[in-house]
Amino acid sequence: MLSINQLLVSINGLVLGFLVLLLILLFFNRRRRKPGEPPLDNGLIPYVGWALQFGKDPLKFLKSQQKKHGDIFTSHIAGKYITFIMDPTQFQYVIKQAKHLDFREFANEMASRTFDYPRITEAKFPQLRDNMHRIYKIMQGTALDKLTDSMMGNLQHVFKWKFSQATDWKIEKMYQFCCGIIFEASFMTLYGKDPVADGHKLISEIRENFTKFDAKFPYLVINIPISLLGATRKVREELIHIFFPNKMAKRSEVSELIQTRKNLLDQYDVLQDHDRAAHHFAFLWASVGNTIPAAFWAMYYLVRHPEALAAVRDELDHLLQSTGQKRGPNYDLHITRVQLDSLVLLGSAINESLRLCSASMNIRVVQEDFVLELEGDQAYNLRKGDFVAIYPPTLHKDPEVYDDPEVFKYDRYVENEKEKTTFFKKGKKLKNYLMPFGSGVSICPGRFFAVNEIKQFLAVILLYMDMEMVENKIIGQDNSRTGLGILLPNSDIKFRYKPRKFDL
């Protein structure tokens, strides 16, 4: 008779044998390149393909594939076939292909799983997606004036509360500092006030829960079950509960944007209260998840480069002078949206930091077999169900487009005191040279508001404070968010600040 041990060993042997057979089968059944398709690279390991190399350092991986295969190729990554477009002069031909290349299904699936609301399908929620996009116009053009004014007020409110005591140098961690201010000011600007609770305390508790959820966000995106992520489900539930209809109804000074979005969601009877709240939570994530690290990097680079900080501050001082404003404990700053637009140096410094820290993958799904036509009579057959991807860091770190691409040059986007828009690759002027906010149909609808927020944040701290690094270390990027948006720093860093001398 077989002992249990022998049985286990033989079962193990069977399983192992089966796996080896499966691998061999997979290996010989690998996809083969058909005529007219881009070069195909399956990688060595069946199913996994290039997932490990890609996950570790996408930019390095993509560059090595580019060396092997050229400017367009299909890589097999974790069971998916992804065709990468590496030549930025070709990006526009992919971006305009909205008919054959769809992003909504992909984004919808990911968002509904991550934020816990039912997938937005046309059958169940007619027009919901289009209606939502119409509302996002409140974040653009002159409609943005109101949000901008409100943000300015809230930033100064948070700022004054935080710094009322500061007279001498005070040391703080920079990421924490940014996170605290941006979260509270954005939250109040969008979602208004809770009339009962102490605003600062409540919002900082919400922020703590948000930070816990956000830390697990990359795992949710790659489909790790939430039950394996500790308290994440509970924290997410708490965050969703903030936006239940009975709670939302009590808030005052809710922005027109959120109010309109709420009214829209209320019209869809098939949505449960929980689903509506989850949509609001998703929007909260979209509105601060990237803005906080983006504000951090902009601040970090400016404080690290005193000459850049001085130049940007000079531009701000001039704006105040030319608008007849004084800085002082009893003055409020008024900078309109149009005035923010005129701050070219500040805008350039922010764009330069976005160039260095953004890593969002632009992904599309091929809807049916079709021929992708690129410039110069190039054409490639693509297969239904495959992905097509643009990874902006390949452009942002290209030494042909940006000399010394690793170096922060605050005035890279300025020429003759105006915004510089001419960047070249292979002698051609690039239509897309900076893509932190995605592209085409999936471009971030909050991008103008986001840049304004960061401008306002920097304006307030540069005008009111002197700042210096305390630690001399150079911090790097944490790659766990690669593909998803703005990268976080791999550690926090101490800096010190004190009130700047006021005008008399």
Ligand X SMILES: *[C@@H]1O[C@H](CO)[C@@H](O)[C@H](O)[C@H]1NC(C)=O
Measured distance CA(30)–CA(74) in Å, rounded:
13
Which window, 13-21, 32-40, 69-77, 440-448, contacts ligand HEM (CB under 6 A)? 440-448
Q: Do 223 and 286 meet the contact criterion of CB atoms below 8 Å apart?
A: no
Q: Please choose which of ligand X, ligand HEM, none residue 442 contacts, taking the beta carbon within 5 to 8 angstroms, the exact cut-off set by kind.
A: ligand HEM
450 conformational bin, left if phi > 0, alpha if psi -120 to 50, beta if neither: alpha
Show the site string, 205-234: x = touches ligand HEM by CB under 6 A, - = not: ------------------------------
197 binding ligand X? (CB under 6 A): no
Q: Please choose which of ligand HEM, ligand X, none residue 206 contacts, taking the beta carbon within 5 to 8 angstroms, the exact cut-off set by kind.
A: ligand X
CA nearest neighbour of 297 among 244, 351, 361: 351
Q: Do 169 and 474 meet the contact criterion of CB atoms below 8 Å apart?
A: no
Is 290 a known ligand-binding residue? yes
- Identified binder of ligand X from the candidate list 221, 344, 441, 465, rule CB under 6 A: 344
- Identified binder of ligand HEM from the candidate list 203, 303, 335, 450, rule CB under 6 A: 450
Show the site string, 403-432: x = touches ligand X by CB under 6 A, - = not: ----------x-----x-------------
Q: Please choose which of ligand X, ligand HEM, none residue 434 contacts, taking the beta carbon within 5 to 8 angstroms, the exact cut-off set by kind.
A: ligand X
Q: Please choose which of ligand HEM, ligand X, none residue 486 contacts, taking the beta carbon within 5 to 8 angstroms, the exact cut-off set by kind.
A: ligand HEM
Show the site string, 461-490: x = touches ligand HEM by CB under 6 A, - = not: ------------------------xx----
Whole-angstrom CA distances from 489 to 159, 336, 414, 492 are 23, 31, 27, 7
Q: Please choose which of ligand HEM, ligand X, none residue 65 contacts, taking the beta carbon within 5 to 8 angstroms, the exact cut-off set by kind.
A: none
| Residue whose CB is less far from ligand HEM, 156 or 442 | 442
Tokens (6 digits) for 483: 């593909």
- Identified binder of ligand X from the candidate list 66, 108, 131, 209, rule CB under 6 A: 209
Which window, 114-122, 125-133, 235-243, 490-498, contacts ligand X (CB under 6 A)? 235-243
Measured distance CA(303)–CA(298) in Å, rounded:
9
Whole-angstrom CA distances from 251 to 109, 132, 258, 385, 474 are 31, 21, 11, 44, 42
Largest Cα separation within the chain, whole Å, is 98
Q: Please choose which of ligand X, ligand HEM, none residue 209 contacts, taking the beta carbon within 5 to 8 angstroms, the exact cut-off set by kind.
A: ligand X
Q: Please choose which of ligand HEM, ligand X, none residue 218 contacts, taking the beta carbon within 5 to 8 angstroms, the exact cut-off set by kind.
A: none
Measured distance CA(358)–CA(52) in Å, rounded:
21
- Identified binder of ligand HEM from the candidate list 287, 348, 353, 482, rule CB under 6 A: 287
Measured distance CA(499)–CA(497) in Å, rounded:
7
Residues 6+ apart with CB under 8 A from 234: none
Show the site string, 341-380: x = touches ligand HEM by CB under 6 A, - = not: -----------------x-x-x------------------
Is 113 a known ligand-binding residue? yes
- Identified binder of ligand HEM from the candidate list 387, 410, 449, 464, rule CB under 6 A: 449
| Residue whose CB is less far from ligand X, 104 or 234 | 234
Q: How far is the CB of 110 from ligand X (least distance, A)?
A: 23
Residues 6+ apart with CB under 8 A from 4: none
Cβ-in-10-Å burial (0-12, 13-18, 19+) of 17 comes to exposed
The position carrying tokens 């997410």 is 236
Three-state DSSP at 332 gives: coil
CA nearest neighbour of 395 among 363, 422, 415, 423: 423
Q: Are strands 362-366 and 494-499 parallel, antiparallel or unpaired?
A: unpaired
Per-residue DSSP letters for 280-321? HHHHHHHHHTTHHHHHHHHHHHHHH-HHHHHHHHHHHHHHHH
Return the residues of window 96-155 that contact ligand HEM according to CB under 6 A.
103, 107
- Identified binder of ligand X from the candidate list 57, 122, 205, 253, rule CB under 6 A: 205
* Annotated binding-site residue numbers for heme: 444
Q: Which residues bind to ligand X, rule: CB under 6 A?
A: 205-206, 209, 231, 234-235, 238, 242, 344, 347-348, 351, 413, 419, 434, 437
Q: Which residues line the annotated binding site?
A: 113, 290, 444
